[in-house]
A and B are shown apart, each in its own frame.
Chain A
Amino acid sequence: MNIHDKYKPLTFWEKLYFPTIFAGLSLTSRKFFRNLALHILGLFGSKFKQDGAVTIQYPEYLRPFFPRLRTMHRLTKREDGSPRCVACMMCETVCPAKCIYIIADEKIDNPQIEKMPQVFDIDLGLCIFCGYCVEACPEDAIRMDTGILEFSNYTRNGMIANMNSMLALQPLDERYVKYDKNGERISEKYLKQS
């Protein structure tokens, strides 16, 4: 549309003002009665394709997550259960929000791997969920695929996730599986990859 078309002078019909008000009112009223009828039919158990509202009732129902969605971090494990992380500080360096705190320790039991983290804290209150830490990691030790978005807390300290809590997390919650359209068990797929 030509931008100047927006400022065309009003026609006589539009200047009367009442006809256009009726047009607008009829539009909203039609929508109102259509949705009202759908809501009432829904109360009696009818299942129309179209719902009266597009609302997702959040705490009970969740939106389906996009598979690439970045959610709360988790640390992956080796086969013996120790953290995969080698405390190389790549993620801490690349982090634009400076929310990762790592203290390195010597790994005694395996001479092939020199280091492991003694402390691995992420301040989720500072994290901007850019995913750079995941990309920077050479060992695939940190991932953001837990599907956990609800970690609010009443204190600032409560927002800090430590190494043990992040090691205990599973990839993608089972809630996701329920909402997959193709019926694929997404969590299994993610398990196979890791």
Chain B
Amino acid sequence: MTETIGIILAKFGFMLFFVLNFGGLLTWVERKQSAVMQDRIGANRAAIFGIRAIGLFHAIADAVKMFTKESFTPKNAEKFLFTIAPGISVFFALIGFAVIPFGDKLVVGETVINLQVAPLNVGILYLFAVAGMAVYGVVLGAWASRNNYALLGGLRASAQMISYEVALGVTIFGSLMIYQTVDLQQIVHWQGNYFWGWIPAWGIFLQPLGFLLFLTVGIAETKRIPFDAPEGESEIIGYSIEYSGMGFGMYLLTDFVETVMIAAITVTLFFGGWQVPFLMADGFHFPWGTVVELSNLVVALLQVGAFTLKVMFFLWLQMAIRWSLPRFRYDQIMRLCWKYILPIALANIIITGIVILALK
């Protein structure tokens, strides 16, 4: 039996819930993780009825503040584009999650639910298309605010993001050559294989260089430190300078959602997506012969849980990178992309191709 519209909407709702919650919690994670790293305590004063919950309410307080603040539109701004640009930005950041598989198959009665919102067979290409559109929100917002500083920030953003999109595609060609597919669900299925019966065939073991390059490029795509030349909120003034209230909040949300996005794509391509080592469709099959049989529901829950845990690890890693490294200069960002990452990624493709041919 095929999926009804209700099931698709439920999956859509689950994914949106997942992403937006992570996006909101990241504001808390960012504050707390940086604080713990630097021997501080971090924001812990927001309280509801005296309960502080280690500062978790600060995310809610932020949201309330963003919504209730005045959303000011400059006199000479292009009103329509100025209003719509943050929406475009956050929209293209969110719809990318449609093709990320967060589990295998869940059987309810006679219905087989594919735990992926949109099972597209061109998954990766769709992701690239969406990532390519992300620059529009930034550039339109910068141009529409009729502020020279914002426009310069938008120019920096477009140059950086378009450059790194080229590298983004090239860095994962090596992986795609191994997987021989662009369907993300099939890519994850492929990673369910094992080398010599016990090492999971995750992309990180096959493409370690590709993983490093992809993570670097991915962080650059999110426009966060150490690649935050487009924003540079502390001193160089970026594209979002004229935005206040929820317009600014949506640009902020875009950054966090893109962080979750990069974590999800990294997990899907290089860390086996929802795969749990030795977990088959009917339970655990350990290499030493032990078999633990589990029902379909438990298996699905384990898979979703594994995917969530892996995403959380990469969110932690990206936050650690954000709070450990200083910003690149603008020319260094460009040089890193065109002179180092792109040639190395191309060399990676050639070497991968030679190895695949030799092993055939």
Interface residues of A (CB under 8 A from B): 18, 21, 24-25, 27-29, 31-32, 35-36, 39, 52-55, 57
> Whole-angstrom distance from the CB of A12 to the nearest CB of chain B?
14
> Which residues of chain B have C-beta atoms less than 8 A from A31's C-beta?
37-39
The digit string for B29-72, where 1 denotes a CB below 8 A from any CB of A, is: 00001011111110000000000000000000000000000000
Partner of A32, one of B41, B212, B320, B325: B320
- Could you jot down 12 A-B contacts, CB within 8 Å? A21-B324, A21-B325, A24-B324, A25-B320, A27-B324, A28-B37, A31-B37, A31-B38, A32-B36, A35-B39, A36-B36, A53-B41
Q: With A18-B212, A53-B41 as known contacts, state yes or no: A28 contacts B35, CB within 8 Å.
A: no
Chain B: CB-nearest residue to A32: B37
Which residue of A18, A25, A52, A55 contacts B324 across the interface (Cβ within 8 Å)? A25
**B side interface size, CB within 8 A:** 14
Q: Do B37 and A24 touch across chains, with their CB atoms under 8 A apart? A: no
Q: Would B36 and A35 count as touching, CB distance under 8 A?
A: yes
In the bound complex, what is the Cα–Cα distance between A52 and B41 (angstroms)? 8
Asked if B324 and A28 sit within 8 Å, CB to CB, the answer is: yes
Give A149 to B163 CA distance when docked, in angstroms.
54
User: Does B91 sit within 8 A of A, measured CB to CB?
Assistant: no
Q: B37 contacts which of A18, A35, A39, A57 (Cβ < 8 Å)?
A: A35
Given contacts A21-B325, A53-B41, 6 further A-B contacts (CB under 8 A): A28-B323, A32-B33, A32-B36, A35-B36, A36-B36, A54-B40
B321 within 8 A of A: yes
**B325–A53 CB distance below 8 A:** no
B329 to chain A, nearest CB (A): 14
Q: How far is the CB of B15 from chain A (nearest CB, A)?
A: 29
Q: Is A53 a contact of B40 with CB atoms below 8 Å?
A: yes
Count of A-B contacts with CB under 8 A?
40
* B residues near A21, Cβ cutoff 8 Å: 321, 324-325
* Complex alpha-carbon distance, A115 and B221, angstroms: 76
Distance A28 CA – B324 CA, assembled complex (angstroms):
7
CA distance A24 to B325 in the complex (A): 8
The 5 closest A-B pairs by CB, nearest first: A28-B324, A55-B41, A35-B36, A32-B37, A53-B41
Give the chain A neighbours of B324 by CB distance below 8 A: 21, 24-25, 27-28
Q: Which of A18, A24, A52 contacts B36 (CB 8 A)?
A: A52
> From residue B216, how far is it (CB to closest CB) to chain A in Å?
9
- Chain B, residues 310-329, CB within 8 Å of chain A (1/0): the string is 00000000001101110000
Cβ of B321: which chain A residues have Cβ within 8 Å of it? 21, 25
B332 to chain A, nearest CB (A): 10
Q: How far is the CA of A166 from the CA of B345 in the complex (A)?
A: 74
* Complex Cα–Cα for A27 and B325 (A): 12
* Residue of B whose beta carbon sits closest to that of A34: B36
Residues of chain B within 8 A of A18, CB atoms compared: 212
CB distance from B358 to the nearest CB of A (A): 27
Q: Mark B265-279, 1 if CB is under 8 A from A, else 0.
A: 000000000000000
Residues of B within 8 A of A35 (CB): 36-37, 39
Min distance, Cβ A41 to any Cβ of chain B, angstroms: 13
Residues of B within 8 A of A29 (CB): 320
Cβ of B204 to closest chain A Cβ, rounded Å: 15
Contact B39 A53 (CB under 8 A): yes
B321's nearest neighbour on chain A, judged by CB, is A25
Chain B contacts for A52, CB-based, 8 A: 36, 39
Q: Could you mark each residue 111-139 of chain B with 1 if its beta carbon is under 8 Å from any beta carbon of chain A, else 0? A: 00000000000000000000000000000
- Report Cα–Cα, A25/B215, bound state, in Å: 15
The closest CB in chain A to the CB of B317 belongs to A25
- Chain B contacts of A55 at CB under 8 A? 39-41
Q: How far is the CB of B131 from chain A (nearest CB, A)?
A: 24
Chain B residue, CB-CB nearest to A51: B39
CA distance A25 to B325 in the complex (A): 8
Q: Once the chains bind, are B36 and A39 in contact (CB under 8 Å)? A: yes
Q: A35-B36, A39-B36 are in contact. Are A28 and B41 (CB under 8 A)?
A: no
Chain B nearest CB, measured from A13 CB (Å): 16
A16 to chain B minimum Cβ distance, whole angstroms, is 10
A55 to B, closest residue via Cβ:
B41
Residues of B near A39 (CB, < 8 A) are: 36
User: Which residue of B is nearest A53, CB measured?
Assistant: B41
Cβ–Cβ < 8 Å partners of B41 in chain A? 53, 55, 57
Interface centre among B35, B321, B324, B325 (most CB of A within 10 A): B324
A21 to B38, CA, bound (A): 18
Q: Which residue of B lies closest to A59 (CB)?
A: B45
> How far does the Cβ of B291 sit from chain A's closest Cβ, in whole Å?
36
